[in-house]
Amino acid sequence: MSILGRVADLFTAKTHRLLNALEDPNEVLDLSYEKMLSGLQETKAHLADVIAQQKSLERQIGAADHEIAGAEDDAATAVRAERDDLAKAALVHRRRAMDNRAMLEQALNAILPQIAKLTDYQQRLQERIEKFRAQKESMKAGYAAAQAQVKAQQSLTGIGERLGGVAETYQRAEDRMLATRDKADAMDSMIEQGIVNDPLDKRSSAEKELAALRDKHAVDDDLAALKAQIGPKVIGSSTSAGNLPKPDGDTKS
């Protein structure tokens, strides 16, 4: 295949894809229905023209019949008056009127089948249009229902335009939250190790270590005082409720 042929095929394929994307089934159905209605109106217009010709021919045939009858009366009157010359003239007139009537009748007989065909075609076309209209409304209703179903499914699955980025947004938010938490843990670790100092705490590292030792010794002293206050009997004994020391004055076993 030549390069120009491939380019033409590619252009045709892209054009079809674009048309399919832009094409709305409802609009296509309505346009087809309007075209069928337009065709029906044209058929009715043609039928009206042919029927008008039929009426005109019938009117002219009636006038020819009237003319023939008048010529016959004139010929009879001339014969009774013994005017053969006038009788001949009337008969010539009658002959011409009869020839004219024959041509009119021939034209009428020629268009009568056309009228019958156009009438039948109009009826069949009108029936087809009514059937297509019912089908069109049914198809439009089905298409609307299918669209609603697709939108509902897209909303449920997050595929639609409005919810299409929900999963990605949630993942980004979760990653950012985890990163922030990791950063906070790292800052706590750095503060505990003394790598990062509290800007409001003006003590040196040595002073901080001494304060920590003092706090440790103070806690140890508090623990020793608590043990001394409770007494040696409790120290090392079971912590169950039955072995706890009884209040003073209670000598019952």
Average pLDDT for consecutive 10-residue bins of the chain (253 residues)? 64 59 70 86 90 93 94 91 90 93 93 91 89 83 76 64 60 79 75 61 62 72 78 51 49 43
d(CA 106, CA 191): 117
Q: What is the largest CA-CA distance in the chain?
A: 179
- pLDDT given at position 103: 94
**CB neighbours of residue 197 within 10 Å:** 14
Is there a contact between 33 and 133 (Cβ–Cβ < 8 Å)? Answer: yes
pTM attached to this predicted model: 0.47
